[in-house]
Structure 1
């Protein structure tokens, strides 16, 4: 019985220590050190690139227990920017993002699994777009971490995933080469 109690106490101590070391970060959108981008094929001949100019989010991360990390991101879908005003107006409409009805898209992680080196991970979570929620996975790379020149501490990641437009109720015919959109997440977090 003593061994069982000792084992339970030791496990609890290790678990609480791991959680105590986790740091909370806010995504640095004010300093323009974070981006949510997209690209989609145009007729199969080239790529159309764009981004969402307004989003926010936070995450927790501890390099000693990286699989306990979590991330939340909220995207203002009205802020879509493909560098073409008329196209952006169409993308905000009912054929695509329907921003009047669904002004935000959100991602909330449910699991993060880093490799042994702690440099790459699969981030799985619930992504909501156009009123539809699906489980998706991002493959991410850790870019780096350390002190910044202003006395803070930062860590950065980048990742990408591909989404099938029809899965989110977007069935506007863009041709057979344009059924999926690649979403990129490039974030630098500042420790709170």
Structure 2
């Protein structure tokens, strides 16, 4: 077994989402503070494990009033639930360079199993400072109400202000631990 330990490089990683607004257009946002580890078993990738944490107060949708509302008890309630966490429970190949990573996603005090469609991991590369790096891209969709994020407002013309389906995309770079 050849297991290498990696740490998420937060300055070269992103955790983003999109959700329908007024049932017509997608609003995009992300979280600026992400951390975590990867135990990568190169001899049997299915034995690899990833754990990640996202600071909910680091949400950024490029609109200060919306961000303040998302941080409030109506949505993420960042004082009570300061982190979104993910811990893998199963890794399986789904193609030559694709994986399905199943794990427990915890948001707003609710934990549900999700499956991430992952591209990678990339080959190892050495940066100009001698650090060994790899990267993955991942995506999934969740229903926000499954995680207790229920706030909404009815629209006068019918429908609701905030959609339920959330598309999540991750671009994560890892630094090998020495």
Tell me the TM-score normalised to structure 2 length: 0.90
| Secondary structure, counterpart of 2:65 in structure 1 | helix
Show the counterpart of 1:14.
none
Displacement of 1:181 in angstroms is 0.9
2:62 maps to 1:83: yes
- Give runs of aligned pairs for residues 90-129 of structure 1, distance below 5 A: 90-115=69-94, 117=96, 119-129=97-107
Determine the C-alpha separation between the residues in 1 that align with 2:144 and 2:21: 14
Question: How many pairs are equivalent?
Answer: 170
Cα shift readout 1:87-114 (whole Å, capped 9, x = no counterpart)? 0000001111011111111100001102
Cα shift readout 1:46-71 (whole Å, capped 9, x = no counterpart)? 21111101121010113331111110
Determine the C-alpha separation between the residues in 2 that align with 1:129 and 1:168: 6
Which of 48, 54, 62 in structure 2 is aligned with 1:69?
A: 48
2:123 maps to 1:145: yes
The 8 Å contact of residues 145 and 153 in structure 1, kept in 2 or not, is answered as no
Show the counterpart of 1:6.
none
The 8 Å contact of residues 140 and 167 in structure 2, kept in 1 or not, is answered as yes
Unaligned runs of 5+ in 2: 154-159
Determine the C-alpha separation between the residues in 1 that align with 2:172 and 2:48: 14
Considering fraction of residues, name the structure with more helix.
1
Determine the C-alpha separation between the residues in 1 that align with 2:7 and 2:84: 18
Determine the C-alpha separation between the residues in 2 that align with 1:47 and 1:102: 25
Determine the C-alpha separation between the residues in 2 that align with 1:110 and 1:70: 7
Show the counterpart of 1:55.
34
Considering fraction of residues, name the structure with more strand.
2
The 8 Å contact of residues 55 and 73 in structure 1, kept in 2 or not, is answered as yes
- Give runs of aligned pairs for residues 4-19 of structure 1, distance below 5 A: 18=1
| Secondary structure, counterpart of 2:18 in structure 1 | strand
Which of 33, 43, 52 in structure 1 is aligned with 2:22?
A: 43
CA radius of gyration, larger in: 1
Show the counterpart of 2:7.
26
